Amino acid sequence: MLELSQIQSNILREYRHGTAPAFVHFIFLRFGDATDARALIKTLHPMVTSCADVDEGVHSVLNIGLAYPAVEMFGHGGDARALNERDDEATGTIEAFKCGMRARAVKILGDDEDSDPEHWEEPYAKGRLHAVLCLNAHTREKIKTNLDLVGAALKKYPSIERVRDEAAADFGGERAGTEHFGFADGIAQPSVLDAGEPNYAGSGTPGKRRGWEPVKTGEFVLGHLDESGQVQFRSEFFKDGSFMVFRKLQQHVGRFREYVSEMAARKGVDPELVSAKMVGRWKSGAPLMLSPKKDDAKLAADLDRNNDFRYEDDREGKRCPIGSHIRRNNPREDPTGPGTIQTSKHRIIRRSTPYGTRLPDDAADDGEDRGVLFVVINADIARQFEFVQQNWVNSVLSSTALTLPADRDPLIGRQRGGDEAGKFLIPTAKRGTRPIVAWGLPRFVTTRGGEYFLLPSLDTLHHIGQNTRPPVDPEGCDASDGSSHTEPAAEAQPPPEPVEPESLPEPTAATTETIPAAEAAPTAEAAPTAEAAPTAETTPTTEATPADSASTEVE
């Protein structure tokens, strides 16, 4: 069974409960020395929320993520490196985590041209971050109180630099679950085995007789069985943690609306249909697979139905184009999609929120910065997030005549100019009519920065704060070869003196041995990895007939 009181809440619980608004804020930190950093973690530990807390009705959430330099600083680099030596399958993730997002951006994530890290915002563009504090609350007052508390704690440690805050948009609760292009977001999420959440139809892995199985726990919580039948991350330090991908994605809303309306006018179709075909859902969230001709708000709101579909009945993408955003990013059992690739090994949990103000419906672009604070939870950054981004968002799919060369994700893909300008094929339902080909897709989304973080268990955070080492649990993670306990002997440090903000409860009692003195965190840029994430079949597709002049009736 999962120890939900050990698992940080944002791993298995979403911020928004039903339609309640969520106020979301991220604080990014650089640590100057390990003593202050440990003291901060000890101070904040009682506020850190677990999944069990949320289940008991706590809606005011603090989660702590650590980037690799912090793991190294706390003396656990060996735990991470040991995984590489012991477990081939984990190599990619530790490599990704260790190098950080910036080093993987160009070659793996497709962040080129405007999205190139050269153009990222600070502090993402230079140096490494050490930590992120993720705060969520259901009222504006509560998030302010929590920000004040955390801010007061941070001020006590001069060596800790608060390098950036990212606040999600405050829409006062209205349309909070709608991203800036106008679509309901956060609908389809994997259901996770033993997570204690409802297993809505469509959210797991396609099973027998059109049923759905929850995705194995180890795909999202470290130290548990995953879809390959393996327990990766056999180290107490990592157990019950997960990895969090943070990516700031700017949306060019004016450009998107202009493109859609021009394309619709040229083809003589409804602009709502063009944008729905790009996403795979209507703006309300109703899936094209279940409602191909018109939006259906009732279906969108029905959790038992709004995700209950497969693509096997739509081999040619006449309802939901093969290249649409949702079909690429979770092809389910799609016979025309990634073929032999087992989709269940590439699932991600999304916890994104919009930032910036809304562009009013009929307004021209106002040049304001707006987009998504895109957050992914996954156990293996390379096999899950990076795989999806590299192979399903940014590669041409291998579905022969059903997609086009340069047919990347029409919503978020890495489109380029000239010959490489994006194309998107919208097959039509009526026999004898030719598909719509959307030409010259520009880039609608630009990367502004990001980083990879570990979300350690409550116990691991406790040990970091106390400067002690988690005990080896013979029943739990197998660390019996000792490779997760191979830090060189060093002088033990006394546990740091935390500063307790008045209203925080006392931290729980310390246990076990003291770990070696902290190493200095590497601040230099990590060497970029040359290796790409595992590749899907990305055989070039056969060119489909451009059909500008043809009849373009779409279902």
Binding residues for ligand HEM, rule: CB under 6 A, are 179, 181, 183-188, 249, 251, 279, 281, 285, 325-326, 329-330, 348, 350, 371-372, 374, 385, 388-389, 393, 412, 445
Which amino acid is present at 291?
S
Our CB check for ligand HEM shows the closer of 181 and 212 to be 181
Q: What is d(CA 542, CA 546) in angstroms, rounded to the nearest whole number?
A: 12
Q: Could you tell me the smallest distance in angstroms from the CB atom of residue 335 to ligand HEM?
A: 16
Q: Could you tell me the smallest distance in angstroms from the CB atom of residue 13 to ligand HEM?
A: 16
Q: What is d(CA 239, CA 475) in angstroms, rounded to the nearest whole number?
A: 12
Our CB check for ligand HEM shows the closer of 23 and 387 to be 387
Q: Could you tell me the smallest distance in angstroms from the CB atom of residue 530 to ligand HEM?
A: 21
- Is residue 346 a contact partner of residue 64, using CB atoms and an 8 Å limit? no
Q: Could you tell me the smallest distance in angstroms from the CB atom of residue 187 to ligand HEM?
A: 4
Q: Could you tell me the smallest distance in angstroms from the CB atom of residue 265 to ligand HEM?
A: 23
Longest dimension (CA), the chain: 78
Q: Could you tell me the smallest distance in angstroms from the CB atom of residue 281 to ligand HEM?
A: 5
Our CB check for ligand HEM shows the closer of 60 and 394 to be 394
First to last CA, the chain: 46
Our CB check for ligand HEM shows the closer of 189 and 232 to be 189
* Length, in residues, of the chain: 555
Our CB check for ligand HEM shows the closer of 190 and 218 to be 190
Q: What is d(CA 107, CA 347) in angstroms, rounded to the nearest whole number?
A: 21
- Is residue 54 a contact partner of residue 9, using CB atoms and an 8 Å limit? yes
CB contact burial 180-197 (16+ within 10 A = b; e otherwise): bbbbbbbbbbbbbbebeb
Q: Could you tell me the smallest distance in angstroms from the CB atom of residue 388 to ligand HEM?
A: 4
- Is residue 24 a contact partner of residue 353, using CB atoms and an 8 Å limit? yes
CA 489 to chain centre: 37
3-state DSSP percent of the chain in helix, strand and coil, to 5: 25, 15, 55
Query: Which DSSP letter does residue 386 get?
Result: I
Q: Could you tell me the smallest distance in angstroms from the CB atom of residue 372 to ligand HEM?
A: 4
Q: Could you tell me the smallest distance in angstroms from the CB atom of residue 334 to ligand HEM?
A: 11
Which residue is it, tokens 């490494």?
Answer: 128
Q: Could you tell me the smallest distance in angstroms from the CB atom of residue 330 to ligand HEM?
A: 3
Q: Report the candidate in 65, 56, 454 with the shortest Cα–Cα distance to residue 223.
A: 454
3 state SS of 279 = helix
Our CB check for ligand HEM shows the closer of 100 and 110 to be 110
Our CB check for ligand HEM shows the closer of 344 and 389 to be 389
Our CB check for ligand HEM shows the closer of 83 and 188 to be 188
Whether cis (ω within 30° of 0) applies to the bond prior to 123 is yes
Query: Which DSSP letter does residue 281 get?
Result: B
Which phi and psi (to 5°) does residue 441 adopt? Answer: -65, 125
CB contact burial 242-251 (16+ within 10 A = b; e otherwise): bbbbbbbbbb
Q: Report the candidate in 477, 460, 472, 468 with the shortest Cα–Cα distance to residue 86.
A: 477
Our CB check for ligand HEM shows the closer of 423 and 443 to be 443
Our CB check for ligand HEM shows the closer of 53 and 386 to be 386
Q: Could you tell me the smallest distance in angstroms from the CB atom of residue 328 to ligand HEM?
A: 8
Query: Which DSSP letter does residue 391 get?
Result: I
Beta-carbon count within 10 A of 550 CB: 16
- Is residue 194 a contact partner of residue 2, using CB atoms and an 8 Å limit? yes
Our CB check for ligand HEM shows the closer of 6 and 189 to be 189
Q: Report the candidate in 515, 247, 235, 528 with the shortest Cα–Cα distance to residue 378.
A: 247
